[in-house]
Amino acid sequence: MKNENKNIEDINIGILGFGYIASGVFSLIQGQKSYLARKIKKNLNIKRIAEKDLKKIKACIKEFKDIKVSSDVNDVLQDGSIDIVVELIGGINPAYDYVYKALSSGKYVVTANKDLIANRGGELLAAAERNNVDILFEASVGGGIPIIGPLKSSLASNNISKIVGIVNGTTNYILTRMEKNNLSFDDALKKAQELGYAEKVNPSSDIEGYDAACKLAILSSIAFNSRVTLNDVYREGITDVSSDDIKNALDMGYRIKLLAIGIEENSQISVRVHPALIPMGHILASIEDTFNAVYVYGNYVGEIMSYGRGAGDKPTASSVVGDIIKIARNFDRKKKGIIYGCSCFEDKKFKSIDDTISKFYILMDVVDKPGVLARIAEVFGRNLVSINSMIQKQTDKEKSARLIFITHEVVNKNLYKSISEISKLDVVNKVLSVIRVEDLS
């Protein structure tokens, strides 16, 4: 199918790694080849594929005799005719070395690798700039949802003050099933694993919040024009969210979601990933199963939201090929140029999670006798924690009760100190849950 449109230029593509996303990219380019050629006036020509397991490739490409396959990535990296390298290996190493070599040899790079961009994106963007090429990574956040490109282009004139999103489909699926099917966390996780939404051996990247933190680091770097890495993001997962928390939240008019929140205020950046109670009336509360949604707050555009499937071979392939098209549209071998480049031209300070201000939901098991509430209230008061509401529920244990508190806004370190002291009271059996409440106003 090479040169189906003979009067227009070939853009030669080399693919590193051939898993399910890469096979989606391959199918999209080959299936839409004629359509894309008419649309962008260039032929997207997959010339080489490197993959350790050649069996993965052969079944897909047997009809395409002109495509060269190899188990050696250097066959792609050292091919002077390759214009764009698509890195779909994943992870930081050895992907970093491969991408760095590609950029250093004057090749454009497209990747879906959130770990790589969140941890070492600054170095790779600098390498791209030195060689007058670019690295594009739309698919690293939100699967098929366009968010990185808009932040770098159509929203670039805005000062972005806040990003709030549900950016991990696995945890959103688990929390949705806990609510809709009255499942425990463990049972909902097992269901997610059966469906392939969560890793069967080690799902910690999703459920402990690492995946969402990588994505938030990438979005915040672009939005706030200052480098944010994974290590800068405060992170809590959803492993401690219980069925009781889900039910209590619903009773009070909230749903629990794993949120990624980035805020820039007074040239300070706060970036955090954690479960949160959000009002049922907010649109993010309606985002269910594996769908993602990201809110952006700009000083001119106001509040906008991007929504769609946050993972999967087809949505992610759509974003990867979208980046390839961005490069291909105005491609010139003789005079290459940067498309977006690095937007991190400032060096802003980070605000510690201890100094941020939040509302909290607190669930505790206490001894059911007079004076308990007064002792707890005294600790809260001494630590400047103001209570907005309190509900008492009886348990099936004799002489035991459940107390549910919603606080007013409080400095996080004051809340942590009060919880530490309350946990030591002889009238408190256990502090079961401490989860932030986000009004998202």
Compute the CA torsion angle 317, 318, 322, 323 (nearest 10 deg): -30
Shared domain check, 103 and 34: yes
Determine whether 215 is an active site residue. Answer: yes
Query: Of 282, 310, 338, which residue sits at a domain end?
Result: 310
Which tens digits make up the pLDDT trace of 303-313?
999 999 888 88
Is 291 within the bounds of a domain? yes
Is 269 within the bounds of a domain? yes
Is 347 within the bounds of a domain? no
Backbone angles phi, psi at 16, to 5 degrees: -105, 115
Shared domain check, 319 and 306: no
Is 341 within the bounds of a domain? no
User: Residue 265's CB: how many other CB atoms inside 10 A?
Assistant: 10
DSSP one-letter string for 42-60: EEEEEEEEE-S-THHHHHH
Compute the CA torsion angle 384, 387, 388, 391 (nearest 10 deg): 170
Shared domain check, 225 and 158: yes
Is 168 within the bounds of a domain? yes
Which tens digits make up the pLDDT trace of 277-291?
999 999 999 999 999
pTM of the model: 0.95
Q: What is the total count of domains within the chain? A: 3
Shared domain check, 281 and 185: yes
- The CATH number given to whatever domain includes residue 59 is 3.40.50.720
Shared domain check, 18 and 79: yes
Shared domain check, 303 and 179: yes
pLDDT the model gives residue 399: 83
Which tens digits make up the pLDDT trace of 78-109?
999 999 999 999 999 999 999 999 999 999 99
Among the listed residues 286, 287, 240, 291, the one whose alpha carbon sits nearest the alpha carbon of residue 436? 240
Shared domain check, 322 and 292: no
Shared domain check, 357 and 288: no
Do 184 and 212 contact (CB within 8 A), yes or no? no
Is 319 within the bounds of a domain? yes
Round the average pLDDT of the chain to a whole number and report it: 95
Query: Of 310, 338, 373, which residue sits at a domain end?
Result: 310
Q: Which two tokens stand for residue 227?
A: 């480098």
Residue type, 362: I
Is 44 within the bounds of a domain? yes
pLDDT band at 1 (very low <50, low <70, confident <90, very high): very low
Q: Which two tokens stand for residue 350?
A: 């980070």
Is 343 within the bounds of a domain? no
CA–CA separation, 123 vs 100, rounded Å?
9
Arithmetic mean of pLDDT, 31-51: 95
Q: Given the residues 33, 107, 215, 359, select the one marked as catalytic.
A: 215
Shared domain check, 260 and 325: no
Which tens digits make up the pLDDT trace of 402-415?
999 999 999 999 99
Shared domain check, 155 and 273: yes
Shared domain check, 182 and 281: yes
Task: Write the CA distances from 221 to 115, 128, 139, 246, 277, integer angstroms.
Answer: 14, 17, 16, 32, 26
Shared domain check, 213 and 110: no
Which tens digits make up the pLDDT trace of 161-193?
999 999 999 999 999 999 999 999 999 999 999
- The CATH number given to whatever domain includes residue 249 is 3.30.360.10
Q: Contacts by 100-104 with C-beta closer than 8 Å and gap 24+?
A: 100/124, 100/127, 101/77, 102/77, 103/127, 103/128, 103/131, 103/133, 103/135, 104/130, 104/131
Q: Which domain holds residue 373?
A: 353-437
pLDDT the model gives residue 5: 54
- The CATH number given to whatever domain includes residue 421 is 3.30.70.260
